[in-house]
């Protein structure tokens, strides 16, 4: 199976890796009807995943177009690789870009979609934050949480996190101050150096791992309806051209081979997990699908 995301292919040779398809000899064989139902369910899931990939692909294309426009503008003497508040990695060089999270003197915002049921105000951005306050503000019923960077003894970086007033599943993180330390928090030593830390999903994470829920595209542990709803949301956003910052951030994630590989792995793991639950050992040939 070859998943092509723009120019960044994820290659999953042949079938789902053997270690993801553990055998369950202890289970009794399933009646044909049950197996048919399961097959149908897996097909539906595949179509959902396909939809997700389409969304990712379209965002990739969009980003590429945008980068090309920026490059053209650069050639015309307009020097800027900033879109909104998030710095776009330099894609026209071989250097591994670091996604610069807003640490400028001027406060800036990022938007992160979370699981609808996840009511914590946590935004995984690679830094370690210590919450020092929470307040309900006048213009938004959702409480605003105040965080300070705890990675260095004296780091002036702060952030405020509050749910979007219009969409409770979106967290708005406002960054203030600069980090006075270089190293970002490395959650996994297996991830390639130089990659944006925010782009890294833990390769060993379970589908229901809360950590992965903080990233927009970490849909792997979601229910079927959740996935569909979010895909529809994303499609709608694409069509309406709204929430540009989210799209740009997501696009930068998608561009990262490490992220896309992790996503693909998580998807495969999810399918396997569900098989485990129901005691099935379907040898899915995704290439055929």
CA–CA gap between residue 52 and residue 234 (Å, rounded): 9
Candidate segments 19-27, 140-148, 164-172, 268-276, binder of DNA by CB under 7 A: 140-148
224 near DNA (CB under 7 A): no
The enclosing H or E element of 265 equals helix 257-277
Nearer to DNA, 134 or 236 (CB): 134
Q: Under a CB-based contact definition with an 8 Å cutoff, are residues 289 and 45 in contact?
A: no
Tell me the closest approach of the beta carbon of residue 134 to DNA, in angstroms: 3
Q: Which of 4, 131, 183, 208 binds DNA (CB under 7 A)?
A: 131
Q: To which residue do tokens 């929470």 refer?
A: 134
Q: Which of 47, 135, 236, 242 binds DNA (CB under 7 A)?
A: 135
Q: Which of 133, 192, 194, 279 binds DNA (CB under 7 A)?
A: 133
- Residue 254 corresponds to which tokens in the numbers above? 């998608």
Q: Under a CB-based contact definition with an 8 Å cutoff, are residues 214 and 112 in contact?
A: yes
One character per residue 158-187, x = contact with DNA (rule: CB under 7 A): x-x---------------------------
Q: Which of 105, 138, 166, 193 binds DNA (CB under 7 A)?
A: 138
Please state at what angle helix 32-75 crosses helix 224-240, rounded to 10 degrees: 30
Q: Which of 36, 50, 130, 168 binds DNA (CB under 7 A)?
A: 130
Handedness of CA 238, 251, 81, 245 (dihedral sign): positive
CA–CA gap between residue 145 and residue 121 (Å, rounded): 7
Contact positions vs DNA (CB under 7 A): 128-135, 137-139, 144-146, 150, 158, 160
């Amino acid at each position: 199976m070859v998943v092509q995301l723009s120019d960044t292919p994820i290659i999953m040779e042949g079938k789902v890796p053997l270690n993801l398809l553990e055998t369950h000899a202890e289970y009794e064989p399933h009646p044909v009807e049950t197996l048919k139902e399961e097959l149908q369910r897996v097909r539906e899931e595949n179509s959902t995943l396909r939809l997700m990939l389409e969304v990712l692909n379209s965002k990739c294309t969009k980003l590429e177009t945008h980068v090309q426009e920026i490059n053209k503008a650069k050639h015309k003497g307009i020097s800027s690789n900033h879109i909104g508040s998030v710095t776009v990695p330099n894609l026209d060089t071989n250097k591994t870009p670091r996604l610069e999270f807003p640490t400028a003197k001027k406060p800036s915002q990022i938007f992160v979609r979370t699981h609808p049921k996840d009511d914590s105000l946590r935004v995984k951005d690679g830094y370690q934050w210590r919450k020092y306050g929470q307040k309900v503000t006048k213009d938004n019923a959702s409480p605003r949480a105040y965080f300070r960077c705890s990675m260095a003894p004296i780091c002036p970086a702060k952030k405020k996190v509050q749910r979007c007033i219009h969409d409770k599943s979106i967290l708005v993180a406002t960054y203030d101050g600069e980090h006075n330390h270089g190293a970002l928090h490395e959650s996994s030593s297996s991830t390639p150096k130089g990659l944006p830390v925010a782009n890294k999903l833990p390769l060993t994470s379970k589908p229901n791992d809360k950590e992965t829920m903080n990233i927009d595209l970490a849909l792997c542990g979601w229910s079927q309806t959740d996935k569909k709803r979010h895909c529809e949301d994303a499609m709608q956003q694409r069509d309406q051209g709204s929430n540009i910052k989210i799209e740009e951030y997501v696009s930068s994630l998608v561009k990262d081979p490490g992220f896309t590989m992790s996503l693909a792995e998580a998807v495969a793991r999810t399918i396997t997990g569900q098989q485990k639950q129901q005691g099935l050992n379907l040898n899915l040939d995704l290439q055929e699908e």
